[in-house]
Amino acid sequence: MLFALLVHGGPGGVASSLAALRFAETLLAEGHAISRVFFHGDGAAHGNAMLVTPPTETDLPARWQSLARQHGVELLACVGSATRRGVLDAREAARQGLPVSSLREGFELAGLGQLVDAALRCDRLVSFGG
């Protein structure tokens, strides 16, 4: 089965974010596929390259990056949610007149149309948090 995931919770100690990651890992281990993970609202902070995770907590963004590299999963941060949280790719940073991007490697900024596209193309869209 082909899945898409929607993650609303941020990476800092939010149970729904960890649940989403564990769900994704379990799906892939059982032979399912994930086309996209769309991070919306506070979830867009997963894409922040400036985020530092304390050593006593799970580094969720790094684990999402690893999962994406290993399984070819797209990690998309909602452009509206991300920019409100200071997460900018090079193009958006230039558009805003800022000198540097802050988007974590492996993540892309995307509009809600990408979420709709994922929902239309997958067998199941599963939402976490919200």
Write the CA distances from 10 to 43, 82, 110, integer angstroms: 4, 11, 17
Cβ-contact 78, 40 below 8 angstroms: yes
* Per-residue tokens: 56: 């006593």
**Closest C-alpha to 64, from 128, 112, 111, 124:** 128
Cα–Cα distance for residue pair 67/75, rounded to 1 Å: 10
Residues involved in catalysis:
78
